[in-house]
Amino acid sequence: MAYRQGELARAVALEVGRVVRAGHVAGVRHALIVEVEDPAPLTALLELYPQGGEAAWLRSFHFAVDVRPRFCETDALGHVSNTVYTTYWELARLQYLAHVGEADDAPKRAFPFNHMAAEITMRLLRPCFYDEPLQVHARMVALGRSSAVMEHALAAGDDIRAIARIAFVASDGEHVIPWTAGQRGKLEAFEGHELPAPAR
């Protein structure tokens, strides 16, 4: 589609934001300077605790594993790469379930509470660095017929660097299977309360 002089700029301004002023930019005549206003701002950022409630939320965890990022896990800026965080969540999840211990009525598989991750949502708050002493916290927050939801925090002391929510399903390696009564009992006993079904 062909635009007359100035029409394209006006069209862009109407699409992405509010016109601030008309003027010249890098020798372009009749350009419009616009301030971008995202018509769909990020309103779905992961939030697992209320503002100011970080410390109380962190104290609600009963399990954590220590990690020290390896040099190979850092990127060109010296930060732990965003691709590495899912391995930290996996480590904490598997160690948590091993710590709880498999139930006597559960099918014997490769590891306690044999499962497959179904959804991973995370939010990186502040960077982590090579060889920094960190802890990956894990807790179970919901338990369905065959599904479960865990929350995680990656922290240096009380300084939370990243958070995550992981949904996973019980599996025999090929099919989704229900949690046993024994598995439910052990998870709820460890968390100290009845676990609600995952929200839909």
CA dist 190 and 99 (Å) reads: 10
Report the CATH number that the domain containing residue 98 is assigned in CATH: 3.10.129.10
Same domain, 174 and 90: yes
Average pLDDT of 71-81?
Answer: 96
pLDDT, the chain, mean? 84
pLDDT band at 17 (very low <50, low <70, confident <90, very high): very low
Query: Is residue 80 included in any domain, yes or no?
Result: yes
CA-wise closest residue to 69 among 77, 61, 78: 78
Other CB atoms closer than 10 Å to residue 125's CB: what's the count?
15
Same domain, 24 and 77: no
Instruction: Tell me the CB-side half-sphere exposure of residue 102, using CA atoms within 13 A.
Output: 14
Same domain, 62 and 22: no
pLDDT band at 110 (very low <50, low <70, confident <90, very high): confident
The structural domain count of the chain equals 2
Domain that includes residue 25, residue range: 7-36
CA-wise closest residue to 142 among 160, 168, 123, 111: 168
Query: Is residue 180 included in any domain, yes or no?
Result: yes
Q: Any idea which residue has 């691709």 for tokens?
A: 83
Amino acid at 47: E
pLDDT of residue 22: 40
Same domain, 27 and 59: no
